[in-house]
Amino acid sequence: MSSASDAELAPLIRKLESIATLSDAARHAVCELPMSVRVLEPEHDIARDKEQPAHCCVVLTGWAYRYKLLNEGRRQILSFHVPGDVPDLQSLHLKVMDHSLATLTQCRLGFIPHESLHALCLHFPDAATALWRDTLVDAAIFREWMTGIGRRTAHGRIAHVFCEMYVKLNAVGLAENHRCLWPVTQVNIGDALGLSNVHVNRVMQDLRAQGMIGRQGRELIIHDWDALCALGEFDETYMHLERKAAA
């Protein structure tokens, strides 16, 4: 456990400013939030279904994801999270977790007490607005995933998730030139999109064969952005970014 510093909270500020406008006072107040930092190994739960956490978690480095478990080992991944995200922000007003939160890769995480966030919201209405707005964007992304899982083909779903994660990373300065780190396994993609890993594999081979995507070391390369967007019917409006993401 260590204490927060301006540099530690930079990802959070960057993220909030990608979806909202903060006054100087609010930005400063956010930087002053007390935070304890911890490093967790890959595939470790941060918060579990049914728990009642007393703090929110900011992803500082690495990727995390939220998921629900069903009977017979079925699993649904609800979202992927990257630096700057606060994946359990909803716990501020929903006492009981209705899903779990885990690290995907090794992560540096910052934990901020609920009471500090409540105080922030009370004294800085535009900080409150930014956080509320963050949870609303979260919901907008759920809606988009829902329509993908419900009504898109496997090809469309997979194309869509690549587009979305690229834009998400690009918005916080962690990706450009249609390349980004891609630590998500095919099993993970399957659990996120309601597909089997086998089918994900076949579809991804297909996308590679068609020259839409490629891989270089640990990076995903999107060779044909327009084609991928068309295939996934991707339109970033639902992400509600304040600034335009670079194409």
Partner DNA sequence: CGACCGTTTGATGACCGTCAATCAGGGTGG
Partner DNA sequence: CCACCCTGATTGACGGTCATCAAACGGTCG
- Site residues for its own copies per CB under 8 A: 50, 66, 68, 70-71, 74-76, 78, 90, 93-96, 98-99, 122, 125, 128-129, 132-133, 135-140, 142-147, 149-152, 192-194, 233, 237-238, 240
14-43: contacts with DNA (CB under 7 A): none
| Site track for DNA across 151-190, x = CB under 7 A | --xxx-----------------------------xxx--x
Rounded Cα gap, residues 238 and 132, in angstroms: 16
Q: How far is CA 231 from CA 21, 38, 77, 212, 228, in A?
A: 33, 40, 22, 10, 5
Is 49 within 8 Å of 98 (Cβ atoms)?
yes
State phi, psi for 48 to the nearest 5 degrees. -115, 150
Is 13 within 8 Å of 119 (Cβ atoms)?
no
Secondary structure (3-state) at 235: coil
197-216: contacts with DNA (CB under 7 A): 197-199, 201-202, 204-205
Give the shortest CB-102-to-DNA separation in angstroms: 13
Residue ranges in 100-153 assigned as alpha helix (H): 114-123, 125-151
DSSP category for residue 242: S
31 binds, among DNA, its own copies, none (CB under 5 to 8 A by kind): none
The owner of tokens 């703090």 is 55
Give the shortest CB-181-to-its own copies separation in angstroms: 25
| Site track for DNA across 214-243, x = CB under 7 A | ---x--------------------------
Name the residues that contact DNA, by CB under 7 A: 153-155, 185-187, 190, 194-199, 201-202, 204-205, 217
